[in-house]
Amino acid sequence: MDASLAVNLCIEQPQTPEAVKLWAAFGDHEAVVPPIWHSEVANALLRLRKCGVITSDRVVEAGEYLEALEVTVADDAEMFSPRAIYQMAERANVSAYDGLYVRLALLRQWPLLTLDAPLKAKAAAVGVRIPLE
């Protein structure tokens, strides 16, 4: 699960139909995320608050919701070496940040749960399974 899905689940009211379908299909499973996930989610919430889209109180509520999710941070140092991240980002033609998600999904042979359409297309092009596509 990437930050786009996580933020949609905790901020959008109502949640987008795609987010609801993804979570319904995979929400019973433990989500495994790369080490940067918490920072990306926090940054997205900060941007939304600074733009006036959400209030500080809503950020607190979102944080509580996210903390209640069963999320495991993958901590395999080899998986997330700078060289490995660079190579995946280059191969998939994505940012290094998105390369983390693509690499994790490929190596674990798991689907990539994201609402980011360009990331879905690029990840699928290198063999990542994209659910509901």
For the chain, domain boundaries? 3-125
Residue 2's CB: how many other CB atoms inside 10 A? 27
Residue 87 has what pLDDT?
A: 96
pLDDT digits 0-9 by tens, 16-74: 888 888 878 776 677 889 989 999 999 999 999 999 999 999 999 999 988 888 888 99
Domain 3-125 in CATH 3.40.190.10: no
The tens digit of pLDDT for each residue in 66-109 reads 888 888 899 887 778 899 999 999 999 999 999 999 999 999 99
Whether the per-residue pLDDT at 6 is higher than 70: the answer is yes
Please determine, for residue 13, whether its predicted confidence score (pLDDT) is greater than 70: no
- Across residues 117-126, what is the average pLDDT? 97
C-alpha–C-alpha distance, residues 84 and 99, integer Å: 9
Amino acid, single-letter form, for residue 90: E
pTM of the model: 0.86
Strands in 7-124 per DSSP E: 31-33, 71-73
Say if CB 78 and CB 35 are below 8 A apart. no
Average pLDDT, the chain: 89
Q: Which long-range contacts (CB under 8 A, 24 or more apart) does 126-130 make?
A: 126/91, 126/92, 126/102, 128/102, 129/105
